[in-house]
Copies of this chain bind each other. A is one copy, B any other.
Amino acid sequence: MTLISLPESRAEAEALDACDPLAPCRDAFALPEGVTYLVGHSLGPATKGALSALRRASEGAWMADRVGAWNSADWIHLPDRVGARLSAILGAQPDEVSLCDSVSVNLFKLAAAALPLARSRRLVVEEDEFPTDQYILEGLAGLNGAECVRVPPGQGAARLEGGVLVKSLVNFRSAELADMAAHEASARACGGLVVWDLSHASGVLDIELAKQGALLAAGCTYKYLNGGPGAPAFIYAHRELAPELTSPLPGWMGHAHPFEFSSAYTPKPGAARFAAGTPPILSLAALDGALDVFDGVSMQHVQAKARALGQMCLMMAEGMGLDIASPQDPERRGGHVSLCHPDGYPLVRALSDWGIEADFRTPHTIRFGLSPLFLGYAEIWDAMTELAEIVETRSWDTEAYRERAIVT
């Protein structure tokens, strides 16, 4: 059961802010005044910690120590140190998480490594899955001859048949949350495996990988984890399964002793075996600094606040003439809400003129990302009040807007 306090006035929203344990996190973000940033589900904003960590890595370590910084700044272990920090946020053990490559590449590695352990050589993905997940499985099937099957939304577990399912925990369009434990149970029952894409979940939900029985996952660090544009992705492999997994991309950084330059490949233990080439240290350093904001933060609080802010959005959107494209039940939802309007694009532009940044997905979906670490209740109250006024007055429906829409 989720207890959510929903304010019925701005004063009540302010009262919720006043007792919000996450409110102090706002100061850690390098966000300008007057901006309500509702696109943290796409690219998290810079934190002061990320910017200073980036400076330390570049104007400090790289400039001052050059190649010596691999040791003096311990860059060589940075992917695993950041992985250990992230493991606490994901509900995993430190050696079960590492940082490497992108989500696309990590899904490829996990699906390829999972197939030999599954009962059937069948790759399964749902038709409304984030496109890269679909493309990557097709690419893998083209290489290793496995069967790749696209199934209708929600049918992945039922049609697994002992294969490997790649599944987003939170759907990128609707924010619908999948039942992780139920999927894992279905997979176990048929001899299959699930590879979770946590891109729209990590940093905003209390995922509890171990408790939910998840075995394999990859995810994005530049959304709710605020790691910076294109920050390296994470990869998770359950401690008991990891020794059985062979990376199809065994680069030297996944070798247990890369500087012995041995011709035989001995993988690192744990999730670190999935490292391939040299990691992008500057991007990784920014992510490391970005995670400072999560220190001492309860993911239960983060999840509860995300759901409360989302519920406020949906509650206030009702009656505005917007279609709600996300689950109404907060327990079935991730960190964003999707609203549809025929004039979605100019509407998002009009919001932006009021300092409210949201994103738009064709043909007419407006997405609001509710990052709990820098957004407040009164701020969302004001944004939704502004949205109501814009919708009511159709303020985008002017000659000036139409002209701008042509120009840009």
Interface residues, chain A, with chain B CB atoms under 8 Å away: 30, 32, 37, 39, 42-43, 45-46, 50-51, 54, 57-59, 62-64, 66-70, 75, 101-105, 108, 112, 127, 130-132, 134-136, 138-140, 142-145, 150, 220, 222, 228-233, 246-253, 255, 258-263, 265, 276-284, 286, 357, 359, 361-362
| Complex CA–CA separation, A42 to B69 (angstroms) | 12
Give 30 pairs: A residue, B residue, CB < 8 Å, sorted on A: A39-B67, A43-B70, A45-B62, A45-B66, A62-B229, A69-B229, A101-B101, A101-B276, A102-B276, A102-B278, A104-B251, A105-B105, A105-B249, A112-B143, A131-B252, A131-B255, A131-B261, A132-B251, A132-B277, A134-B263, A136-B251, A139-B247, A139-B248, A230-B277, A230-B280, A230-B281, A230-B282, A232-B280, A280-B282, A282-B283
Cross-interface CB contact of A140 among B42, B51, B248, B262, cutoff 8 Å: B248
Which 6 pairs of residues, A with B, have the shortest CB-CB distance?
A102-B277, A104-B251, A104-B277, A229-B281, A280-B283, A132-B252
Cross-interface CB contact of A139 among B249, B277, B280, cutoff 8 Å: B249
Contact, CB under 8 Å: B59 / A51: yes
Cross-interface CB contact of A250 among B37, B50, B139, B228, cutoff 8 Å: B139
Which residue of B has the minimal Cβ distance to A57? B229
Give chain B residues whose Cβ lies under 8 Å from the Cβ of A42. Answer: 67
Contact, CB under 8 Å: B75 / A62: no
How far is the CB of A340 from the nearest CB of chain B, in Å? 15
Cross-interface CB contact of A248 among B64, B142, B284, cutoff 8 Å: B142
How far is the CB of A126 from the nearest CB of chain B, in Å? 11
| Complex CA–CA separation, A284 to B230 (angstroms) | 10
| Additional A-B contact list (14), CB under 8 Å, known A101-B102, A130-B252 | A54-B282, A58-B228, A58-B286, A102-B279, A104-B251, A105-B251, A131-B255, A131-B263, A134-B263, A135-B265, A220-B278, A228-B281, A229-B280, A282-B286
Contact, CB under 8 Å: B229 / A278: yes
Which residue of B has the minimal Cβ distance to A128? B263
Give chain B residues whose Cβ lies under 8 Å from the Cβ of A362. Answer: 259-261
Kindly report how many copies of this chain are found in the complex they form together.
2
Which residue of B has the minimal Cβ distance to A50? B58
| Complex CA–CA separation, A351 to B50 (angstroms) | 36
How far is the CB of A26 from the nearest CB of chain B, in Å? 15
Contact, CB under 8 Å: B43 / A67: yes
Which residue of B has the minimal Cβ distance to A62? B46
Which residue of B has the minimal Cβ distance to A359? B67
| Complex CA–CA separation, A50 to B62 (angstroms) | 11
How far is the CB of A136 from the nearest CB of chain B, in Å? 6
| Complex CA–CA separation, A398 to B347 (angstroms) | 76
Contact, CB under 8 Å: B46 / A255: no
How far is the CB of A287 from the nearest CB of chain B, in Å? 9
| Complex CA–CA separation, A246 to B281 (angstroms) | 29
Contact, CB under 8 Å: A250 / B30: no
Give chain B residues whose Cβ lies under 8 Å from the Cβ of A127. Answer: 263
| Complex CA–CA separation, A143 to B62 (angstroms) | 37
Cross-interface CB contact of A229 among B143, B248, B249, B282, cutoff 8 Å: B282
Give chain B residues whose Cβ lies under 8 Å from the Cβ of A279. Answer: 102, 230
Give chain B residues whose Cβ lies under 8 Å from the Cβ of A139. Answer: 247-250
Give chain B residues whose Cβ lies under 8 Å from the Cβ of A102. Answer: 101, 251, 276-279
